[in-house]
Amino acid sequence: MLLQFFDFEVYPEWWCVTFGLFPDGKLNNDNRWDFVQTSIKETFITITSDEPKARDQILEIVRSSCIVGYNIKKYDLVILNAIYQGFTPTQVKLVSDLCINAVSQFSSKEAMRMAPFATKRMRGTVHLDLFDSSVGSLKDKEAILGLSVQETSVPFNKRNLTDEEKADIISYNRHDVFASMVWYAQIVEPFVYAKLMLCKKFKLDDKWAYIETNALLIARALNVKRCEYADAHKVEIKLHPKIEKYCYDNLDRAIVDRVCKSADTYKLTLFENEVVLADGGIHSAYLVKQFKRDRTDTPILFVESDADYVLVNVDAESYYPSMSIQFQTLSRSIPSFEGYNAILQERFTIKHKPDKTQDDMDLQLADKLVLNTTYGASGCEWLPMYDPYQRTKTCRYGQLFLLALANKLVHTLTDAKIIQMNTDSILAYIKRSEMALLDKLIDEWSTTSGIGMEKDFVEKIWQRDVNNYLLVKQGGKMKVKGGWLSQSSIRPGYVMVSPRTASVCAKAVTQWLLNGKDIKQSIMNNTDLMDFAITTTKGPTFKGVVQRMNNGFDVDMPKCNRLIATTDEKYGKLYKFKEVDGKVSYNQIPNTPEHCLCINDDMSTYTFAVLAPQIDFQYYIDRAKGLIDFTFVELTHGEAFKTHQFDYAR
């Protein structure tokens, strides 16, 4: 199916829309769709209200393809419908204003008459809204991806547009189509591909892969019909007979009873971990807060495998889907329990095949999409799979059963320590001589439940908390979780991206921890300008952004900005502002330097060599030091103690 990316710009007496056809191409070696280059803008088609047959041209494109854009359900599809209805540019502008601010319907009789059209989308379209799998604005994404974040200089309420102003608006419009295409190509496409494979598996029309969210597509594939359940809001659960004895044998009865009777968050200290059980999952981390030097300190735990002790991660295979089968906690709105189990077993079969074909890989994508979505969808009241009692049982069974295993490991193995737990895995530190006993305990757990468990080995870990750590797997592969030492805004396998946060600092600290490479040297030798970039956005409650210059003047800035720290003191900080009852208040944008050099054009227009003399390298060095200005605690052979081997004072 052809993908036409599109975007509207609407003014009081004029509008335009740009369409861009997604090109054919292949993934590069880094699995990036970098064949979407700026030159593709030359192939775009822009249609304006000045053209006598604009409506017909638009409809011809829309009816022959899947139309793709960012936040189109709430805006562009509504504008498309207004044009389909034959509205004048002035009426289209009224609909546009109503989309943005519903209160404006009371501004005039005509606005009140047009108000119903502000929620009506163009019917019969095959469309993909990129906002469905994201948060934030398209401008956020442009800043993060290194694209231009500049906005048109033409006010959106301006009348009597000149040809030059129209050209400026069209240029801005075409750029946003290009940006949404880049966002799709680099981030979203693999997830859409998985949905297409699901349609192929279940013989559904490809259009549903674009129109439906994951949960709705899976509901369609599995023929799910929403049902009402008398026990929907029941809280108390009874452990499944398969695991009841195991949990009571290996946990204090008070813990088991508390979780069975209440879904409220439950915090406790167990096996030297601070454990948190909540109606969404479990997590724990080895306690090191007793080493805090002051209130602001967050001690970092360091553990390393050696000849006598080893870090081993045990991970339950497809834990929640497996529980849904083994403990009969699948959403009762799914009509075929056997069909769901067949998908799970097919997933296991393909996963363990030594030589996977492309068909195997495609089938695995479809299976994973089903298995990874059903649990969460069963907890959302707006979805067909909604079955909250089954969902909470799955979650709480999983918490207790995994916690019971962790507790048994500690009480059975000599000097064993639990470094962390999360939803489906346990990272343990044990004697190498007791690996066979560990395997026996895992086998018992799996035999009891019917749920498989896998092991992998870890060389070392620096753990700030369960959600922030640097880990090196056996063989040297590095894993970073959380924002503490985040190396990139883009994480493979995730459709969400994070703001740019001067990753040059995290990269330098990582090299210090791993290899003892001097932080200052790492930063001074880094020539990737994007590693120095910091992205910011004003947020919906603020009216705009200004930069306060050294001469006392405020300069208006875009709502999203990309900046680097500079030694040029004429550039000041960025402030976001709001207006309440005629009073304007300003707030500094947090985690930004005192002197900000904004680099808001496409990053390809900048060179490191030109900007390097203006970069405030000391700002980044100090920021990097702040990432490890904490107490380090080493755990070795059962004993935890302060260590100074990672202190950095240069």
Query: CA 615, CA 603: separation in Å to the nearest integer?
Result: 16
pLDDT of residue 167: 97
Place 28 in a pLDDT band, splitting at 50, 70 and 90. low
Characterize 117-146 residue by residue with b for buried, 16 or more Cβ atoms within 10 angstroms of its Cβ, and e for exposed.
bbeebbeebbbbbbbbebebbbbbbbbbbb
Mean per-residue pLDDT over the chain, rounded = 94
What residues contact 552, with CB distance under 8 A and at least 6 apart?
Answer: none
Q: How far apart are CA 586 and CA 591, in angstroms?
A: 16
338 burial (CB, 10 Å; 0-12 / 13-18 / 19+) is exposed
Q: Burial of 580 by CB count in 10 Å (0-12 exposed, 13-18 middle, 19+ buried)? A: exposed
Identify the helix (H) or strand (E) that includes residue 337. helix 337-351
Query: Contact at 8 Å (CB) between 114 and 86?
Result: no
Model-level pTM?
Answer: 0.92
Q: Which pLDDT belongs to residue 101?
A: 86
Token pair of 182 as six digits: 């880049």
Q: Which of 589, 264, 311 is nearest to 456 (CA)?
A: 311
Residue 31 binned pLDDT confidence (cut-offs 50, 70, 90): very low
As a whole number, mean pLDDT of residues 252-266 equals 97
pLDDT tens-place string over residues 263-322: 999 999 999 999 999 988 999 999 999 999 999 999 999 999 999 999 999 999 999 999
> CB neighbours of 47 closer than 8 A, spacing ≥ 6?
16, 17, 18, 19, 54, 57, 58
Q: pLDDT tens across 157-206, in order? A: 999 999 999 999 999 999 999 999 999 988 898 899 999 999 999 999 99
Q: What is the mean pLDDT of residues 54-77?
A: 96
Residue 56, pLDDT above cutoff 80: yes
Cα separation, 1 vs 185, whole angstroms:
15
The residues that bridge with 80 in the sheet, in sequence order, are: none
**Could you tell me the sign of the dihedral formed by the alpha carbons of 234, 235, 236, 239, in that order?**
positive
Phi/psi of residue 429, nearest 5 degrees: -120, 110
d(CA 27, CA 649): 44
Torsion of CA 74, 77, 78, 82, to 10 degrees: 170
**pLDDT of 581 higher than 90:** no
Angle at 154 between CA 152 and CA 159, to 5 degrees: 145
Enter the tokens of residue 88.
């004048």
* Beta carbons of 350 and 194 less than 8 angstroms apart: no
What's phi and psi for 466, nearest 5 deg? -65, -20
> Which 3 state secondary structure label does DSSP give 299?
coil
- In angstroms, the CA 313 to CA 307 distance is 17
CB 138 within 8 A of CB 180: yes
pLDDT digits (tens, 9 = 90+) for 491-525: 766 788 899 999 999 999 999 999 999 999 999 99
Please check the confidence at residue 29 and state whether its pLDDT lies above 70. no
SS3 545: strand
Q: How confident is the model at residue 539 (pLDDT cuts 50, 70, 90)?
A: confident
Least confident of 110-119, 364-373, 529-538: 110-119
| pLDDT at residue 27 in the model | 55
pLDDT of residue 110: 87
Burial class (CB in 10 A: 0-12, 13-18, 19+), 65: buried
* pLDDT higher than threshold 70 for residue 20: yes
In this structure, are residues 181 and 5 in contact, taking their beta carbons and an 8 Å threshold?
yes
Dist CA 32 CA 30 (whole Å): 5
- Tell me which of 25 and 494 has the higher pLDDT: 494
Query: What is the residue-wise DSSP string for 238-287?
Result: ---HHHHHHHHHHS-HHHHHHHHH--S-EEEEETTEEEEEETTEEEEEE-
Q: Does 455 have pLDDT greater than 50?
A: yes
- 94-150 residue pLDDT tens: 999 999 988 877 888 888 898 999 999 999 999 999 998 888 899 999 999 999 998
Sign of torsion over alpha carbons 501, 503, 509, 514: positive
- pLDDT for the residue 104: 78
Q: How far apart are CA 117 and CA 114, in angstroms?
A: 6
For 606, counting Cβ atoms within 10 Å of its Cβ (0-12 exposed, 13-18 middle, 19+ buried), the class is middle
